[in-house]
Amino acid sequence: MSFYDLTIKDIQGEQIDMRALSGRKVMLVNVASACGYTPQYKQLQEMHASFPEIDIIGMPCNDFGKQEPGTSEEIQSFCSMQYGVQFRLTEKLNIIADPHPLIQWLTQKQLNGELDVEVKWNFSKFLVDESGKLVAHFPSAVEPFDDQILKCLNINI
């Protein structure tokens, strides 16, 4: 299975076809509104605004500390009002129990061909290159503008 074979609904319930991201770098982040890492939304939005060649996709998840209990409308309102988020958000998804197929692909080497990853908390970051290859995973504490991420995205600041 390829990254481009996957789909997920956005926060409004519209289908996101990963094929539309072919040829683009993608950062996927499991996000939550009431987490100590929630201020990373600001950096994610800055990256989205500064580097339009990178698609950022926030994936709301309530699996870690129950830190994303809101409805789709509440999540979208919070992200917009508090952080001016304009990048794409998906429907709320599961990572631990009954993980969404996109999460399965991101975390299982047998599916992605590159890495086995255990997501341990909110704001884990996955980087997919222009060919749909999973190239890296970074844990929550690694901020979006960290040198490691910038190097993987081939960004010079």
Q: Which of 35, 61, 79, 152 is catalytic?
A: 35
Q: Is 61 in the active site?
A: no
Q: What is the DSSP letter of 26?
A: E
* Alpha carbon distance 101, 8 (integer Å): 9
Residue 153 in contact with residue 147, Cβ under 8 Å? no
CB atoms closer than 10 angstroms to residue 103: 23
Residue 130 in contact with residue 24, Cβ under 8 Å? yes
**Residue 27 in tokens:** 């950062």
By annotation, the residues acting in catalysis are 35
